[in-house]
Amino acid sequence: MEYLKKTFRWFGPSFGVTLEEIKQLGMEGVVTACHQIPTGEVWPVKSISEIKNKIESHGLEWSVVESVNIHNAIKYGHKDRDVYIRNYIETLKNLAENGIYTICYNFMPLIDWTRTNLNYELPNGAISLLYDPIAIAAFDLFILQRNRAERVYSGEMLKAATAYFERLDNDGRVTLEKSILAGLPGSKVPISMGYFKKSLVEVSQYTKLDLQKNLTYFLGIIIPEAEKLGIKMALHPDDPPFSVFGLPRVASTYEDLGFILDSYPSESNGLTFCSGSLGATPSNDLPKIVRDFGDRIHFIHLRNVQRDTNGSFYEATHLKGSVPMGKVMTEIVKEQKRRQEKGKSSVAIPLRPDHGHVLLDDKQRKDEFYPGYSLIGRAMGMAELSGLEEGVREVLGTE
């Protein structure tokens, strides 16, 4: 049986990791995007081919696009959404023309992901990412000063957030704001507070049902085109998988993912399985998600999180944390076996180590990396995951 395809996310030469280094790590493929093109615009064939040629010149393949971002007009159902859907289809056609057929995307409102500390030091000195709901509440109440935000939080949380904010000096408050507004992947420019506030007011008027309707509208047009092109769309779950700032989420739970897949039954309408995103809440049974939705999983992100009872979590090493990574890997390998028995061509599912600690020599260039995308930390994660996969295959007898 084919092993999982080892891939590494790459944002380009200005983000601290080179293609030469990725090749030396033994990776087979690269996960990237045309980050320089604004969301909603068509990716020209020339721009795609230039990146692809650069990747292939290092003996690698462009395995997955992450991400062709969804324009807000589509997410929020604006009158001009069909213009941006047509642009999206043109981008898919141009990617297919270049032989790229797996597309990761998300439908998260406002921002792609949320953390409160991008330099959380662990006891061993490694640097991780942290989500703290008390810090979120402090930002919401006293920095963002969202209208009627206090209604979202319990009396105990209000008290804790107030105490947290009062302990912060001015630098601490600025750092918290920058951490939450860190920007979109592939950009070092934080989202401005003005844009964030304005967008939050708009997004707050939508319900979960509104966003689900807009997503199914998008899928209803995109998936038939993807089928013609042989493209597999792989929706990434929400990060974190619960409401932040009172905003609805549409890809956070087992039920959410089932709804998305059922909204347009097609192999082209699939998922990115992200153990770190889904694992940030104890209510998600990750092995069950792989077992039940495995035939529609087209891309895999594996990372671990260590949850606390207060709702906070930090990103742990790939094999140690609250995510039962051994059980997850077992279900992934079993899914590969099912695909092999059915004679499917997509047995070698692309997998990448998702995020990684900043440690050792990477500390000297940590400001170059996009948060979570160090070199050595992710390399260590892939080594751990590869060893785990090898052991699982031996136990299951699938080699």
For the chain of 399 residues, list the mean pLDDT of each consecutive stretch of 10: 93 94 97 95 98 98 96 96 98 98 95 93 97 96 91 93 96 95 78 89 93 98 98 97 92 98 97 98 97 97 97 97 98 95 87 97 92 96 97 89
Its sign, for the CA torsion 44, 45, 50, 56, is: positive
Which member of 84, 274, 298, 362 is catalytic?
Answer: 274
- CA 277-280-285 angle, to 5 degrees, is 90
Question: Which alpha helices (DSSP H) does the chain contain, by range?
Answer: 19-24, 45-56, 72-75, 81-97, 133-138, 155-167, 170-180, 193-203, 208-229, 254-263, 275-278, 286-293, 325-341, 376-396
Q: Can you tell me the distance from the alpha carbon of 395 to that of 389, in angstroms, rounded to the nearest whole number?
A: 10
CA 207 to chain centroid: 22
Which member of 84, 131, 370, 373 is catalytic?
Answer: 373
Confirm whether 355 is a catalytic residue: yes
Which member of 71, 236, 298, 357 is catalytic?
Answer: 236
Which member of 238, 239, 354, 362 is catalytic?
Answer: 354
Q: Which of 161, 140, 52, 126 is nearest to 96 (CA)?
A: 52
Confirm whether 301 is a catalytic residue: yes
Confirm whether 373 is a catalytic residue: yes
pLDDT of residue 287: 98
pLDDT of residue 187: 77
pLDDT of residue 397: 87
Which member of 301, 318, 362, 370 is catalytic?
Answer: 301
Q: Tokens in use for 226? A: 């993807």
pLDDT of residue 43: 98
pLDDT of residue 297: 98
Which amino acid would we find at residue 239?
Answer: D
pLDDT of residue 110: 86
Q: Output the CA–CA distances (angstroms, integers) from residue 138 to 143, 160, 246, 349, in the order listed.
A: 7, 8, 14, 41
Confirm whether 298 is a catalytic residue: no
Q: Output the CA–CA distances (angstroms, integers) from residue 61 to 33, 99, 149, 258, in the order listed.
A: 13, 10, 47, 31
Q: How many CB atoms are closer than 10 A to CB 311?
A: 16
Which amino acid would we find at residue 46?
Answer: K
Which member of 71, 318, 355, 357 is catalytic?
Answer: 355
Q: Where in the chain is the domain with CATH 3.20.20.150?
A: 5-114+206-396
pLDDT of residue 26: 95
pLDDT of residue 251: 97
At the topology level, CATH places domain 5-114+206-396 in: TIM Barrel (3.20.20)
Confirm whether 354 is a catalytic residue: yes
